[in-house]
Structure 1
Amino acid sequence: MAKQFDQIEDDHLSFIEEQAIFFTGTAGPEGRVNVSPKGMDSLRVLGPNRIVWLNWTGSGNETAAHLMQANRITLMWCSFGKRPLILRTYGTARTVHEGDADWDDLLGLFDPAPGARQIYDVTVDLVQTSCGYAVPYMEAPRERDTLKKWADRQGRDAVRDYWTERNTRTIDGAPTDFK
């Protein structure tokens, strides 16, 4: 049975911190819905209704475009371990770019990240938990460091060139918030 909450409670925070992966979901008013898995040390819960998520450079930039079109976002965690639970946070997000007034402060919450593209500052207005009885048991023995190594090899300027080449339009052709 699903339960709803107005904020992230201590038990929710503990659950989030235990998970090795989370998923983001966004959609514009038309076009495709985007769901992406996220890992690495890229998320911080800053309060009962606030999450910041460091978005690394990727093959697309759907989240940025969707938030420009319809400011709504869902983050989801599910347990692949002993405790069967799915937790979703629903809300809106503000996109923070390098050069924005609070970029340095928010980026400082994370380890150095040459592949950092945006930071999403999420305002949570609903938390929902549900059973995870059908989620399989799986192990996450270690994080994959391929993306970090790629960004380190490229350097910040080459990463920015990559954005220009590959991150300015969604798969539906909508513009992203690339800066």
Structure 2
Amino acid sequence: MGHVYERLDDRTRAFIEKQPVFFVATAPSDGGRVNVSPKGYGDTFTVLDDTTVAYLDLDGSGIETVAHVRENGRITLMFCGFERQALIVRLYGTGRVVTLHDPGFPELLARFGPHPGVRSIIVVDCDRVSDSCGWGVPRMDLVEERSTLDRWAARHDVQETRDYRAKHNRNSIDGLPGLSAGESDPVGQRS
């Protein structure tokens, strides 16, 4: 049977920080498409305090999470135990997008491992923390993290990154605003 918590306790925090992958779900307010994105790289997620978490938003072919969070703030993160412990943890809350132009960005960025291709940081204020059994989730072994995304981002110079983000990250698939022109610049420092 699942449980609901007011905050991240030590056991839940240890569980989510250990997971090599998590999933982010968002949706626009009025119809549109629900988006679910897998997130990897173990050093791209951090717990800021008992009710606040953050993760790096790295380059990608879409901008759904940023667009949805900016439109309505609603976001859910899900962590599944693929190893021995059969557990699922969901963090429900309100997200905000922090870009390199926002106060506090350098301090947040320093909490993550080094990655090129950082577009923003998504900070989530959790208003519900819940767990449930993961009995239907298969047990799997992590072979390795893929380095493909980091290698891809490292190959592009500043102008190529701006051009890519202008083409792929200005609007969501439903036409909601994503990254503005001023936010298309790559982060000068690595996380």
TM-score normalized by structure 1? 0.96
Question: Is 1:73–2:89 an aligned residue pair?
Answer: no
Q: CA deviation at 1:64?
A: 0.9
Q: State the partner residue of 1:56.
A: 58
Q: State the partner residue of 1:145.
A: 147
Look up the equivalent residue of 1:18 and give its one-letter code: K
Contact 2:45–2:53 (CA under 8 A) maintained in structure 1: yes
Q: What's the CA shift string for 1:98-141, capped at 9, x where partnerless?
A: 12111111111123322000101111111010000000111111
Aligned residue for 1:106, secondary structure, equals helix
Q: What's the CA shift string for 1:67-104, capped at 9, x where partnerless?
A: 12211110000011111000000001111011211111
Aligned residue for 1:148, secondary structure, equals helix
Aligned residue for 1:111, secondary structure, equals coil
Q: State the partner residue of 1:12.
A: 12
Q: State the partner residue of 2:2.
A: 2
Look up the equivalent residue of 2:170 and give its one-letter code: T
Where in structure 2 are there 5+ consecutive unaligned residues? 184-191
Contact 2:17–2:45 (CA under 8 A) maintained in structure 1: no
Aligned residue for 1:154, secondary structure, equals coil
Question: Is 1:128–2:130 an aligned residue pair?
Answer: yes
Look up the equivalent residue of 2:145 and give its one-letter code: E
Equivalent in 160, 165, 169 of residue 167 of structure 2: 165
Look up the equivalent residue of 1:34 and give its one-letter code: N
Aligned residue for 1:99, secondary structure, equals coil
Q: CA deviation at 1:153?
A: 0.8
Where in structure 1 are there 5+ consecutive unaligned residues? none
TM-score normalized by structure 2? 0.90
Structure 2 distance, partners of 1:163, 1:36, is 18
Look up the equivalent residue of 1:150 and give its one-letter code: W
Contact 2:70–2:97 (CA under 8 A) maintained in structure 1: no
Aligned residue for 1:165, secondary structure, equals helix
Structure 2 distance, partners of 1:90, 1:98, is 25
Contact 2:59–2:119 (CA under 8 A) maintained in structure 1: yes
Contact 1:84–1:132 (CA under 8 A) maintained in structure 2: yes
Equivalent in 103, 117, 120 of residue 119 of structure 2: 117
Contact 1:68–1:177 (CA under 8 A) maintained in structure 2: no
Aligned residue for 2:102, secondary structure, equals coil
RMSD value over aligned CA atoms? Answer: 1.1
Structure 2 distance, partners of 1:173, 1:127, is 31
Structure 1 runs, 4 residues or longer, greater than 3 Å off: none
Q: What's the CA shift string for 1:31-89, capped at 9, x where partnerless?
A: 00000000012100011101011110101000111112211110000011111000000
Q: State the partner residue of 2:40.
A: 39
Contact 2:70–2:96 (CA under 8 A) maintained in structure 1: no
Q: State the partner residue of 1:176.
A: 178
Q: State the partner residue of 2:187.
A: none
Q: State the partner residue of 2:189.
A: none
